[in-house]
């Protein structure tokens, strides 16, 4: 069944996303997990209706500072990447309820102690950090 507000681009060996993704202004859910993404375009962060973003199991090393622009985001999956830190703008995600992190070298202590996302339930897999 086709859902115009949901795009699933998972498991396609994608190495990048086009900046034109920002044209999908009514998008509420984007699944791009299990690809080969090393970054996401800042233009993705202009999708004001986006509520759920699945980026796990990629090769992300950073997130754009503009990620705080996803003002309606409720669910964000970042686990199994190579993130070292999260941008301060994550504190602007007032609707964020679920943040999944872990499985990426260096992300443990800083992210699991992240206190700027009020009311958010943070799920971490600590076993990777000892």
pLDDT at 68: 94
pTM: 0.82
pLDDT in tens, 60-112: 999 999 999 999 999 999 989 998 888 989 889 989 988 888 765 454 434 44
All structural domains of the chain with their residue ranges? 6-129
**In the CATH hierarchy, which top-level class contains the domain 6-129?**
alpha beta
Sign of the alpha-carbon dihedral angle for 120, 86, 13, 124: negative
Residues 19-54: tens digit of each pLDDT = 999 999 999 999 999 999 999 999 999 999 999 999
User: What is the reported pLDDT for 4?
Assistant: 76
């Amino acid at each position: 069944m086709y859902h115009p507000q949901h795009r699933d681009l998972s498991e396609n060996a994608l190495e990048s996303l086009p900046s034109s993704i920002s044209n999908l202004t009514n998008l509420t859910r984007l699944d791009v997990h299990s690809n080969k993404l090393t970054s996401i375009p800042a233009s993705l962060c202009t999708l004001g209706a986006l509520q759920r973003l699945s980026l796990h199991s990629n090769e992300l090393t950073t997130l754009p500072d503009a990620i705080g622009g996803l003002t309606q985001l409720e669910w964000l999956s970042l686990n199994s990447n190579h993130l070292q830190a999260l941008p301060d703008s994550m504190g602007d995600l007032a609707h964020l309820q679920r943040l999944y992190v872990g499985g990426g070298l260096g992300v443990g202590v800083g992210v699991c102690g992240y206190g700027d996302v009020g009311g958010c339930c943070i799920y971490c897999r600590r076993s990777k950090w000892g």
